[in-house]
Amino acid sequence: MTTDVASGPGDPAEPPANLAKLNANIARIEELTQRLVHALSQRRLPDPGVEAPGPDLFADAAAAWWTEMLENPGKLIEAQVGYWGKALRHYVAAQQALSQGRTEPPAGGDPAARPARPAADRRFANPLWDSHPWFNFLKQQYLLNVEAVESAVAELRDIPPLERRRIEFFTRQIVDMMAPTNFLATNPDALERALETEGESLVRGLENLVRDIEANRGELLVTLADRDAFKVGENIGATEGAVVFRNRMFELIQYAPRTAKVRARPLVIFPPWINKFYILDLKPANSLIRWVVDQGYTLFVVSWKNPDAGYAEVGMDQYVEEGYLTAIREVKAITGEARINAVGYCIAGTTLALTLALMKKRGDRSVASATFFTTLTDFADPGEVGVFLTDDFVDGIERVVAAQGYLDRVFMGRTFSFLRSNDLIYGPAIRSYMMGEAPPAFDLLYWNGDGTNLPARMAMEYLRGLCQANGFARGTFRICGETVSLADVTVPLCAIACETDHIAPWKASYAGIRQFGSRDKTFILAESGHIAGVVNPPVKEKYGYYTSAAPIGAESAAWKAGAAHHRGSWWPEWIGWLAKRSGRMVAARVPGDAAHPVLAPAPGSYVVEAPAA
């Protein structure tokens, strides 16, 4: 005879819920591991020239350091004794605290041996970095190591300025990479999350890692924003308009009027083709495109084609002839105006300046005024980006584009991310892969991850002729059969640079504007960086700007010394400048005309095409 007994939660016949969850997670890890191995196998064999600086850089740095130490051995002894003394004191203090079961770091101590965490260093925000002796020891030892490395680099003598900048930059990359926060076993936030979720956060993190590697064909590029939160043309890039012209280089978008009257002279914006144009048309509240239309302008924007290998032979000449000059011609035809106003952003500003110089040579006066957003034309000092513009990197890029026909968007995105590695690489990687968090729904970061390729010829002409040879500033650069210089740009102009721009440093931007041949020059210095300083709508009043009565011919320091600070966005200042050069008010224009029928609603097809595989 048998008796049925109901199984309780502790009955061996029914595994505990946490055991079932563990088994399910193990199965997920096995499946994800297989996907990870397959995704990594898709990665192209990298060219060492684009992965890291050439070995000569640190060999020269080491030689310079040893030369200095041999000439002054006392300095070497002092540095070594100081470092090891601090490290040993930290080790002993941490061991004592742990052996006595204390959960706080030892009180007092040598302030010099325990460097304070910088207030802005968000990596060490968790209280355990200060309250737990083990984590406190890791943090302080890391900061001591950073101090020692930075001191060694600072002691280098007889190093050319560019080489010193490169050594400092790539040393900082190594130092940032080795932070204890970047490793699971030494990151208290990640360990706490793993305990709270019974390991679920680590499984989600592995899912995020596999997803990113699969999406980038074997390369690791952290997803910065929720890819499902936005759709171009619906909740971003959605200002009403139409594509009214298309060729192999670009689609021309004319935006629908939002006022009964508009300025007679139309405005065309040339955005950079390194990224997509809708950075100027994110959500309605921060859309420069929508705001300009609201001010009563007939606005056109160029949406560039995202090139594949079929564009390998497209160079700067084609961008000028088939891009800029064609767009200007079509805008004039659609509006019936003899002259237009133009805006160029970043590399598109550089190329707008080349176009204007060419037009000067040809006697073409179609552009009445030009505005430059964060534009470099004199590359004598390109700032932080300059560390990637030496032959060891550029030679590698040349080999890669010769084989592929284009410079891959992944390389571009990764390179710019390293300029702010803690914010754009390590921080997001920790949240995604260690904490298992989903990327945020942030429109600016979504755009940042929506990259584009560069044609092979154009990329090399830009890197060799403009960046390395500085041909435009030296008057040796040839475009469409003409040799042009900065002095050939003579139209009235307004230039906006950004105070903390790490891609187009404001002083370098100012240096190029100084050399333009224009008599009518206005310079505006916006607060913040390359993107946030430009996308700064008046409603937020987040960042201010500077204007100066000093002549643009003065040095940048003199200009800044005489500058006045203004609260709020620079947009109204610029639009006031533009209004004086835009003619009378006329009846608003609808997109297109009989010869330019509407081809598609804005934002068009080029901006949403999948990049080349």
Per-residue pLDDT reduced to its tens digit, 341-388? 999 999 999 999 999 999 999 999 999 999 999 999 999 998 888 888
CB-based contact 271:350 (threshold 8 Å): no
Per-residue pLDDT reduced to its tens digit, 327-343? 999 999 999 999 999 99
CA distances, 83 to each of 147, 172, 491 (Å)? 9, 19, 59
Tracing tokens 């994110």 back to the chain, one arrives at 282
Looking at residue 7, its pLDDT comes to 44
Q: How many CA atoms lie within 13 A of 157 on its CB side?
A: 7
Per-residue pLDDT reduced to its tens digit, 546-586? 999 888 988 999 999 999 999 999 999 999 999 999 999 99
Share of the chain above pLDDT 70, in %: 87
Q: Residue 230: pLDDT band by 50, 70, 90 thresholds?
A: very high
Looking at residue 46, its pLDDT comes to 73
Amino acid code (one letter) for 239: T
Looking at residue 137, its pLDDT comes to 87
Per-residue pLDDT reduced to its tens digit, 420-467? 889 889 999 999 999 999 999 999 999 998 989 999 999 999 999 999
Per-residue pLDDT reduced to its tens digit, 298-313? 999 999 999 999 999 9
Cα distance between residue 468 and residue 462, in whole Å = 9
Residue 57's nearest CA partner among 213, 192, 165 is: 165
Cα distance between residue 380 and residue 600, in whole Å = 43
Catalytic residue among 346, 467, 494, 498: 346
Lowest mean pLDDT among 324-328, 346-350, 485-489, 540-544: 540-544
| 76 vs 378, residue with greater confidence | 378
Max Cα–Cα distance, the chain, nearest Å: 109
Per-residue pLDDT reduced to its tens digit, 250-284? 999 999 999 999 999 999 999 999 999 999 999 99
Q: Where are the domains of the chain?
A: 48-182, 241-608
Pairing of strands 367-373, 600-601: unpaired
Per-range mean pLDDT, top range of 159-173, 221-235, 508-522: 508-522
In the residue annotation, 467 being an active-site residue is answered as no
Looking at residue 432, its pLDDT comes to 95
Strands (DSSP E) found in 109-249: 241-246
Q: Residue 109: pLDDT band by 50, 70, 90 thresholds?
A: very low
376-391 exposure pattern, b = at least 16 Cβ within 10 A, e = fewer: bbbbeebbbbbbbbbe
Per-range mean pLDDT, top range of 25-39, 164-178, 478-492: 478-492
Residue 33 makes CB contacts below 8 A (sequence gap 6+) with 206
CATH number of the 241-608 domain: 3.40.50.1820
